[in-house]
Amino acid sequence: MSKQINVALIGNPNTGKTSVFNALTGLNQKVGNYPGITVEKKEGICKLPRGVKAHIIDLPGTYSLNASSLDENVVIELLLNKKDKDFPDIAVVVSDVENLKRNLLLFTQIKDLEIPTVLVINMADRMRYKGISLDIEYLEKHLQTKIALISTRKNEGINDLKQLISNYKDISIAPCINASEIDTEYFDSLRKAFPNQLIYKLWLVITQDVNFGKTDRNEIDAISSFKTKSESELKRLQQKETIKRYQFINNVLKKGQTIDASQAKDLRSKLDRVLTHKVWGYLIFFVILLTIFQAIYDWSSIPMDFIDSVFASLSEWAKTQLPKGAFTNLLAEGIIPGLGGIVIFIPQIAFLFLFISVLEESGYMSRVVFLMDRIMRRFGLSGKSIVPLISGTACAIPAIMATRNIESWKERLITILVTPFTTCSARLPVYLIIIALVIPEGRFLGLGYQALTLMLLYLIGFGTAVFSAYILNKILKIKSKSFFVVEMPNYKLPLFKNVGLTVVEKTKAFVFGAGKIILAISIVLWFLASYGPGENFNNAENIVKAEDASQNLNEEELQQKIASHKLEHSFIGLTGRAIEPAIRPLGYDWKIGIAIVSSFAAREVFVGTLATIYSVGSDEEETIKNRMAGEINPVLGGPLFNFASGISLLLFYAFAMQCMSTLAIVKKETNSWKWPTLQLVIMSAFAYIVALIAFQLLK
């Protein structure tokens, strides 16, 4: 059996590294976190010639091995630690043909670590369009490597890259330059103090806050024969090293790369003038958002109706075809409705991820970041804060992790605290079911009222996040300075394969992540709703028959009354009744109260909870939407889910901190329970007050 090769995929941001990873691994990939830290880890399997398998790790994007963020530290620590199980047999450095000079800085640094390194020059299909020609043979000779010229868009050069990876032992590990020439005396003394260590590894340990093997910075400083330098002197040496590398890169590219400026057709600057314009830029972004939310509704209605009816039929089939008993009841009234409550939203969530992926792939999202920096500055945030705020529309957890790129602690803390206000995909099921119940289906200027309501909720969440940031900026007395730098990638047509993989991966993560919670909670809720203490529950049939003896109910009506009486006096009914006085002023009954409490585990559980509660004891083949629409308000009469209670619920979920996972990640990122506790208390209190005012005004 052949040995598995470890391959590290490394490159600057926006070089198409993810496209190369997808081209090599396809669906054989998974996403997790590096042990102990909240940095995303993507890995996959690639089949190479002669039956060899490659384990490919897509490392976080980095401009150089001079780390300035936790993401970049991950790259360095892996490349320095030979004992790590993921230590690469070969490094594949992905560069972009239009930014080759900048990309080669990282390449020359990795070569100094004496790891077999292949250079991938991506986006080769743009060479003629940009007037670029390359002398590959010359570049290979002077960079002492093998080069794969590829185009992931046209699927060209991928097999050549696989061949180079499988023949990694033939690739030279000689460095491109002698970095120790920047201070020969210093590096000679370092070499004498650690004769068995690679000199460039030692240099990285000295200049970065990273460790490798058993050697760390303190140990190097402790060697008496080695004279350490001050931090400012080390910074100057780093600058000298960077200058030396760029001198080498410039000399190589003088002959290895030719750019005919007259041939380059540049549409980018014309598009940028419009898309980042101080008026048109915002207007275009607003129109794009409107289009997205309208499409989410229009495109997904047919598959959603189909899924809704399938789960209702499946639940009815389980009741009629399976042997009667507790297991059948659990399946028909707990598990199937609970899962149906989340599966129904797959179409809309998939479409949301589809649009976000297209915006990122096309290069437009970077323009949005640049555009929003003008606004963010006024509220005590940096333009970089927009990345977590926008990615929070998918999930607050990775969004909060993304704040690690913000250098200023104050701006980072504020961003962490306000990000949960942005509407995440877990809120989407709650919004969609309530909007469908209380907002009419009419249109205004061709746009549906329901789509406009959904967009308004997104804007309210974003607006609240920004306004909260403004208040926190005034309250928090933390001194910090920061600068905003964002790279504008080239515009490109999104790759269908990349978009498809992103949608599948993100939707799958949402469904299975939420599915596990919902399945567990559905089982618990079914048990609590199917059993209860005392005579009121156990003797429900006799009590109902005695109470309604004069009403001459038929068998179906009688059974419905018995089921309703049992539910009211079950464990869950008693719990709901206990909290009902606190939530009745908001227009909610005890069933909604149970759904709100259970959804503190995860917001999307709200719909699954109601699906389970409304299914218990119900023999009718009805969808959850129909059951919710038929609920009557016990105090005011009329539908329980009316305009006033619906808007109240929507606003409650827009502002409440109902996600235990988010609180856990805030604790981890801030290293304190103080901030997540404040988040939970303040957001929940704010949500309650806003929902109360909304219901009282609208009822």
Q: Counting beta carbons within 10 angstroms of the beta carbon of residue 209, is it exposed (0 to 12), middle (13 to 18) or buried (19 or more)? A: exposed
Residue 559 is encoded by which pair of tokens?
């059974």
Which residues are 44's β-sheet partners?
Answer: 29, 56
581 annotated as ligand-binding: no
Q: What is the DSSP string of 421-475?
A: GS--TTHHHHHHHHHHHHS---EETTEEHHHHHHHHHHHHHHHHHHHHHHHHHHH
Residue 197 is encoded by which pair of tokens?
């260590």
Please enumerate in sequence order all residues whose Cβ is within 8 A of that of 363, keeping only pairs 6 or more positions apart, or say none: 14, 488, 489, 490, 491, 492
Q: 């460039």: which residue's tokens?
A: 200
32 annotated as ligand-binding: no
Residue 98 to residue 108: CA distance in whole angstroms:
18
26 annotated as ligand-binding: yes
Closest CA to 309 of 357, 283, 275, 343: 343
**Cβ proximity of 135 and 256 under 8 Å:** yes
Please enumerate in sequence order all residues whose Cβ is within 8 A of that of 455, keeping only pairs 6 or more positions apart, or say none: 289, 290, 293
11 annotated as ligand-binding: yes
**Cβ proximity of 302 and 335 under 8 Å:** no
60 annotated as ligand-binding: yes
Closest CA to 318 of 302, 341, 336: 336
Residue 515 to residue 689: CA distance in whole angstroms:
31
Q: Counting beta carbons within 10 angstroms of the beta carbon of residue 556, is it exposed (0 to 12), middle (13 to 18) or buried (19 or more)? A: exposed
12 annotated as ligand-binding: yes
589 annotated as ligand-binding: no
13 annotated as ligand-binding: yes
Residue 675 to residue 663: CA distance in whole angstroms:
9
651 annotated as ligand-binding: no
In 52-201, DSSP assigns E strands to 53-58, 90-96, 117-122, 132-134, 146-149
Residue 651 to residue 457: CA distance in whole angstroms:
8
Residue 132 to residue 261: CA distance in whole angstroms:
9
- DSSP secondary structure code for residue 196 in this structure: T
58 annotated as ligand-binding: yes
81 annotated as ligand-binding: no
Q: 């190589």: which residue's tokens?
A: 252
124 annotated as ligand-binding: yes
In 329-375, DSSP assigns E strands to none
3-state secondary structure at position 573: helix
Residue 459 to residue 289: CA distance in whole angstroms:
10
16 annotated as ligand-binding: yes
Rg, the chain, Cα only: 30
Q: How far is CA 422 from CA 464, 470, 484, 691, in A?
A: 8, 15, 22, 17
Residue 30 to residue 112: CA distance in whole angstroms:
30
292 annotated as ligand-binding: no
638 annotated as ligand-binding: no
566 annotated as ligand-binding: no
502 annotated as ligand-binding: no
Q: Are strands 5-11 and 90-96 parallel, antiparallel or unpaired?
A: parallel
131: left (phi over 0), alpha (psi -120 to 50) or beta: left
Residue 208 to residue 634: CA distance in whole angstroms:
65
Q: How many CA atoms lie within 13 A of 351 on its CB side?
A: 18
Give the number of other CB atoms < 10 A from CB of residue 568.
18
**Cβ proximity of 393 and 424 under 8 Å:** yes
36 annotated as ligand-binding: yes
Closest CA to 115 of 200, 237, 188: 200
170 annotated as ligand-binding: no
- Residue ranges for the binding site for Mg(2+)? 22-23, 25-26
- Residue ranges for the binding site? 11-18, 22-23, 25-26, 36-40, 58-61, 122-125
- Residue ranges for the binding site for GTP? 11-18, 36-40, 58-61, 122-125
